[in-house]
Structure 1
Amino acid sequence: MEAQTAPKLQNPPKPRNPITELWWFFAISACVKLLLIPAYKSTDFEVHRHWLAITHSLPLSQWYSDETSIWTLDYPPFFAYFERFLSVFANLIDPQIVHLQKGLNYSSNTVLYFQRISVILSDLCLLYGVFRLTRNSDSMKQKMIWVLVIWSPMLVIVDHLHFQYNGFLLGILLISLSCLEEGRDLMGGLIFAVLLCFKHLFAVAAPVYFVYLLRHYCWKGLVRGFWRLSVLGTVVVAVFALAYAPFVYHGQMQQVIHRMFPFGRGLCHAYWAPNFWVFYIILDKVLAFLLGRLGFNIQAPAASFTGGLVGDSSPFAVLPQVTPATTFILVLISLSPCLIKAWRHPRPSLITRWVAYAYTCGFMFGWHVHEKASLHFVIPLAIVAVQSLDNARHYFLISIVSCYSLFPLLYEAQEYPIRVLLLLLHSTLMWLGFSAQFANGIALETANSGKKKDDDFQTKRRSVAAAQKGGFIIGCVHWSYLVGMLLVEIWGQFLHPIIFGEKLPFIPLMLISTYCGIGVIGDKSIYWVRSNGNMVGRIL
């Protein structure tokens, strides 16, 4: 008898190609960004246009000393070189873009399209960083991370409406983190050093990198460890030498440092970022008011909290004055639990979580923090969010709060529907994505994978229960907070103009900062670093 053969399948399914799928994600986001080209332009649009003109029209020795405009160059040299690279193409398209004098506040369609498209193309760096970080993940997690990062409404608002290049810079960060997760410590450290020479505000995570690399890469015995430390130090020094050597040669280093660290600006940015200092400021105002009513002679400060472009400020009437050194110390103290954990258990799989925690600390306690700096921790947290139900729940709230805190950046009426639709779409995609992920039993599998410590038991029970109930759920406290956010928006957008007209315009902004600050501070993901569900440190 002839052996029976199994019937062949008709039209077998094609194997999945994640690279093609990722390109589709990028293409859809690029189409949306192209539609937004004619939308609102902020002062940052002219800032970067002026930097194109500075780097194209002036010799390198004058880049950091030019005062043709108030929008002086204040990013590190690699970003200046990046602007110089872009200026070559800008000059070919329209020489007026890079004209230092005639180009001031230049607003033709050529500069509009050139700069907008340059940001879209620079997002290819973010695309590569996301690909590297997710290429070993399963399909569900990959797509969820792509949605959270590539379709991030915060990046659309900050980069493609307000105008900056955060996607490009965050892509460099994600590439560095992917190298560390793969065990390529030297390459990860090198790329992070490159990032610092593009934008120095990313240096908040430098202590985490230092401790992790010292323990994981260099701590290999006396001779081998010293050799690795020497190699790592040489690589980092070489990167900074490449960036700054031309300015050292021209005697410009003091001016470069002065531009990069303008501590004369106020403690807070012109619009208060929703961090710890919001409540410190409000407490000072309340105490000054109460003590004044009680008969105490309280001198109202002459300076403001938001020095912006000029001047030192001492704005507190009752509470101790805050200096840059004070904020630096507070950031280091809040970072200490993370640094201890990185030293004791330097695990590559946790480095992204620790870096996100570091940027959270910088956002909470840093000097002159911009509201846009929340991107520094929200984007890395997207990688962490898919790992467990608790992470997803915390990310759901913190990403909504951070996105809503950016609304005042787009203050013109025609952009209002855009920002609302972006946040609603983001929230809906998060809800559907996390529900699908955890309803498929991912949380259940994670909870039952191996024996864990007793203090992890409650976390796993919640994950199992959520998976059995249908996936992603948030508690009544989170729901109440989100309803309160809706009420804050209704007041600021509709009721305040009706009741007060143009009077007290600062109240809606103050409410948004304060309410978002409550959300940021109150969410456990901001204060706790988790390692397999174990809480290892709290900021406050």
Structure 2
Amino acid sequence: MATPAESRSWFPALALGVSLLKCLFINAYHSTDFEVHRNWLAITHSLPVSKWYQEDTSEWTLDYPPLFAWFEYGLSQVARHFDSDMLQVGNLNYASPATVLFQRLSVIFADLVFIYAVKECCSTVRQETSDKELLGRPRFILAVLLLWNFGLLIVDHIHFQYNGFLYGFLLLSVARHLQSRHLEGALLFSIVLNLKHINLYVAPAYGIYLLRCYCFTQDNTNGSLRWKSFSPLRVLALGAIVVSVTALSFGPFIAMGQLQQVLSRLFPFKRGLCHAYWAPNFWALYNIVDKALSIIGVRLELLDVDSVPKASMTCGLVQEFQHSVLPSVSPAFTLLCTLLSILKAILMAVLPLSILAVESREDAGIFLVLATTGHYSLFPLLFTPAEFPLKVLLMLLFTLFSFAALKNLYGEEGSLLHRLESFYLLGLVDVGLLCEMVFPLSPWQSTLPFAPLLVTSVYCALGVSYSFIRLYISIMTQKATEKPKRQ
């Protein structure tokens, strides 16, 4: 029988393998996010701190929290040894071979945080027998689902972003909480919150979790939580951590009287929630309903044809538009909608679903639907012909592994998916054929160039929304006598 050390020898091989794969993408297509981060390198390197959130030579102004700006500053100290011209604010769209090499390598090396976090997360899942084949071991499956995640591979290492680095802190925070190291977990979450403010949507979940598991203690008699076991000192300790990290991040800008300027960059609420580029979420469904109602209204002569915007929602540009029938999402309403959406986010994003997938059969089924649909929704990000076979192959390999590994983990008794779920996922094949092969050859390509984006977004929005609803129902209907899900 293999020793514990031998049974974990596969992890370095997995991590090294995926790192080498990322190196093959260095010369692949990259999006405007490449120029965004090059510009941020230039801003933080060439300008004093007081100008960071005021500089607007480029349209890609600095709009991440200050802690991420300092991360860019640190990268710029290395970047100058590759090509100092990339650090000139006026060199818009500069992409020399040395610049491309540096920025690609910076993402790969930053992913070391993610790799370490995955290792720690794997150590928290249930124990496994060392004589079982790898495809049936929860820790191996989880490592592959995270390290070889299709979405991170194409978004970070082709499209270009630093999500792996950011998710590394988030996953490491989750791992520390599962290890009952709550102060470390709170510190790590405070750091990631000050690296990218989109993590605010899970902050309420973190707060509730820490109150329940750290600030209260359970009664040994019946396991209930009682107010008399509440610890104010622990609340103060958590508060001190959050305040200290936030003060370190925003402190210099508060001292310079620039807090309002920084916040205006981080939260541009005047843009509203709906933009012409559709993500596969509720707003895609909201937009398509409005579009359908406007067409019906014109046909029934209930609306003036001149008052209906002409394909404004499908122009593919990141801009605002007004709805024709349904209420438009105004700037004042944006904050309220965001806060309300947090209530849903608490139920769907307490922990990364991939961790739950190797712990619960029910969650494994939800993961398969959400991961498959969500990953396919990323296809429009890679629209150049050269990347088409690559994105298809990578997603196919990841999806086949996910289905095979989770099926093997939970045995052969019954499918992880319901029949309608399987039917829906098979529909992605038809959507792919329609959008990637049929439509480009059709006469509608010139008149409706962004119709494939519309179809992909709306179809995937159905699957993503369904997954969240199923997860919510799964949590709410869980019986008290059953083993609870991970907190």
Instruction: Identify whether the pair has TM-score above 0.5, normalized to the shorter chain.
Output: yes
Do the aligned residues in 2 keep the contact of 1:176 with 1:187 (CA within 8 Å)? yes
Alpha-carbon separation, structure 1, partners of 2:474 and 2:50: 44
2:237 — aligned with what? 231
- Is residue 2:66 matched to residue 1:84? no
Do the aligned residues in 2 keep the contact of 1:75 with 1:198 (CA within 8 Å)? yes
- Is residue 2:288 matched to residue 1:300? no
Alpha-carbon separation, structure 2, partners of 1:310 and 1:143: 40
User: What whole-Å deviation, never above 9, does each CA across 1:472-519 have from its counterpart, x for those lacking one?
Assistant: 553332232122111111111111122224331121111100111111
Change over 3 Å in CA distance of 1:18–1:79 after alignment to 2: farther
Match of 1:406 among 372, 378, 393: 378
Q: Which amino acid counterpart does residue 530 of structure 1 have in structure 2?
A: I
Change over 3 Å in CA distance of 1:252–1:308 after alignment to 2: farther
1:186 — aligned with what? 183
- Is residue 2:477 matched to residue 1:505? no
Change over 3 Å in CA distance of 1:434–1:244 after alignment to 2: same
Q: Which amino acid counterpart does residue 42 of structure 1 have in structure 2?
A: S
Change over 3 Å in CA distance of 1:216–1:166 after alignment to 2: same
1:122 — aligned with what? 110
1:29 — aligned with what? 18
2:256 — aligned with what? 250
- Compute the displacement of 1:135 (Å): 1.3
Change over 3 Å in CA distance of 1:210–1:308 after alignment to 2: farther
SS in 2 for 1:272: coil
Q: Which runs of 5+ in 1 are unaligned?
A: 1-11, 339-352, 357-379, 440-465
Alpha-carbon separation, structure 2, partners of 1:28 and 1:490: 31
User: Share of identical aligned residues, percent?
Assistant: 40
Do the aligned residues in 2 keep the contact of 1:55 with 1:63 (CA within 8 Å)? yes
SS in 2 for 1:129: helix
- Compute the displacement of 1:216 (Å): 2.4
- Compute the displacement of 1:219 (Å): 3.3
Q: Which runs of 5+ in 2 are unaligned?
A: 129-136, 218-226, 483-487
Match of 1:429 among 401, 408, 415: 401
- Compute the displacement of 1:526 (Å): 4.5
1:328 — aligned with what? 338
1:63 — aligned with what? 52
Change over 3 Å in CA distance of 1:31–1:310 after alignment to 2: closer
SS in 2 for 1:355: coil
Q: Which amino acid counterpart does residue 436 of structure 1 have in structure 2?
A: N
Aligned-CA RMSD value: 2.6
Match of 2:296 among 290, 295, 305: 290
SS in 2 for 1:316: coil
1:395 — aligned with what? 367
Change over 3 Å in CA distance of 1:516–1:218 after alignment to 2: same
Change over 3 Å in CA distance of 1:196–1:59 after alignment to 2: same
TM-score (norm 2): 0.87
- Compute the displacement of 1:532 (Å): 9.3
Greater mean deviation of Cα atoms: 279-288 or 35-44: 279-288
* Aligned length, in residue pairs: 456
SS in 1 for 2:271: coil
Do the aligned residues in 2 keep the contact of 1:386 with 1:392 (CA within 8 Å)? yes
SS in 2 for 1:325: helix
- Is residue 2:196 matched to residue 1:199? yes
Do the aligned residues in 1 keep the contact of 2:202 with 2:345 (CA within 8 Å)? no
1:367 — aligned with what? none
Do the aligned residues in 2 keep the contact of 1:384 with 1:391 (CA within 8 Å)? yes
- Compute the displacement of 1:223 (Å): 9.3
TM-score (norm 1): 0.79
Alpha-carbon separation, structure 1, partners of 2:115 and 2:52: 31
Alpha-carbon separation, structure 2, partners of 1:427 and 1:492: 20
User: What whole-Å deviation, never above 9, does each CA across 1:399-441 have from its counterpart, x for those lacking one?
Assistant: 11111000000000000001000110001111221132123xx
Alpha-carbon separation, structure 2, partners of 1:306 and 1:493: 17
2:458 — aligned with what? 514
- Compute the displacement of 1:307 (Å): 11
Do the aligned residues in 1 keep the contact of 2:169 with 2:189 (CA within 8 Å)? yes
Greater mean deviation of Cα atoms: 48-57 or 91-100: 91-100
Change over 3 Å in CA distance of 1:141–1:209 after alignment to 2: same
User: What whole-Å deviation, never above 9, does each CA across 1:290-338 have from its counterpart, x for those lacking one?
Assistant: 2222222443259955999987x461122122231341243144357x4
1:492 — aligned with what? 435
Q: Which amino acid counterpart does residue 528 of structure 1 have in structure 2?
A: I
1:218 — aligned with what? 215
Alpha-carbon separation, structure 2, partners of 1:183 and 1:516: 37
Greater mean deviation of Cα atoms: 158-167 or 291-300: 291-300
Alpha-carbon separation, structure 2, partners of 1:310 and 1:491: 24
Alpha-carbon separation, structure 2, partners of 1:405 and 1:129: 26
Alpha-carbon separation, structure 2, partners of 1:155 and 1:69: 27
Taking CA–CA contacts closer than 8 Å with sequence separation of 6 or more, which of the two structures ends up with the larger relative contact order?
Answer: 2
1:315 — aligned with what? 322
Match of 1:209 among 206, 210, 223: 206
Greater mean deviation of Cα atoms: 523-532 or 326-335: 523-532
